[in-house]
Structure 1
Amino acid sequence: MKRILTLGLAGLAVCAAAAGCGTGSTTRADAPATTTSTDRPAQALPGTPLPGTPLAGAPRPTTPTSSAPRTATPSQTSAAAPAPGSNSGSAPGSGCPATTDVLFTALKSGTGGMYSRSGNPAALRDPVCYAGFASAGTIVDENHQPSRVLFGYDAASRHWTPLTVGSAHYCEGFTPEDVAAHLPGCGG
């Protein structure tokens, strides 16, 4: 209780000294005040790590960190996913490797409106092929959200067919779990 009271009083003192609380300030009275102090190191409550401090046993970053927001790259969307353009699982009759040109032709000529459902992409990118299934990212205009298209290979006709489109877990019901783990955005 003494610590809370001390922190509360310190907060009021900082507020009064720095911002002149109540003297024409535009800060709402019901908004929580935030203060920072550069003259002493940050302290955490016992058992609570400081922000930015890795938890015990957590891996340390190997590259410098920045304050810029990170965006996921295609290879980061699934830990088990091969790198973009990877065509592993190329057993005979699996259709692998699959190229963006072959998959894009299959998407445009496919039935069921899959081309329009995928945002009428200008092209495909980062194909990944595994065991008779392939996925590729869409390159779309600013009015559509990028997604991935799942394709299945028919060994008898030697033809790729678009099966579904999505951005996460879009392979459910189309591929076995062990195959989904190799395709970006499919595996859990």
Structure 2
Amino acid sequence: MDHGPARERILDAAEELFYARGIQAVGMDAVRSASGVTLRRLYQLFPSKGALVEAYLLRRDARWRGALASYVDAVDGPAGERVLAVFDWLGRWFAEPGFRGCAFVNSFGELGGTAPEVAEAARGHKEAFRRYVGELVAEAGGSGATGAHIALLAEGAITTAALTGSSGPAGEAREAARLLLAAAPR
């Protein structure tokens, strides 16, 4: 039995609903209805809501980081421009309709204390992002500390953009990252 298309429809529906409304506000019946699968099929593929949430977060992580890397990889210029491109990509993301901040922070805030799989997915996502930014900064000649600082700028921009409903924090954080790169010991 091919579960691929049904699984993808369920994950698409879960991602849209969980991100827009929050995980606790969305029941399995809402996911079933939005995905067009039977409740039986839903539970065959995801035996619990926790399993669905974990699959949603893991897929979102891969997609989010993949989209960011594709954007940054397309930058033709010095390594420092690739670092700054992270903030350009964030600005585009912040301007998307329905932007609600970081799905991992939102999920952790809702369930992190009671759902170890959510906490692990959120921590894994943040650590992978921090490593990625650190690698970009290292390619630009910056130190590990500078990479950590720039990753924190990006995280702050994500949170501020979510709270203010503005894409402006991406540009502000980009400028701060530019200054950090310029001042970084080589």
- TM-score, normalised via structure 2 length: 0.26
Q: Which has the larger radius of gyration?
A: 1
The answer to which structure has the higher helix fraction is: 2
- TM-score, normalised via structure 1 length: 0.26
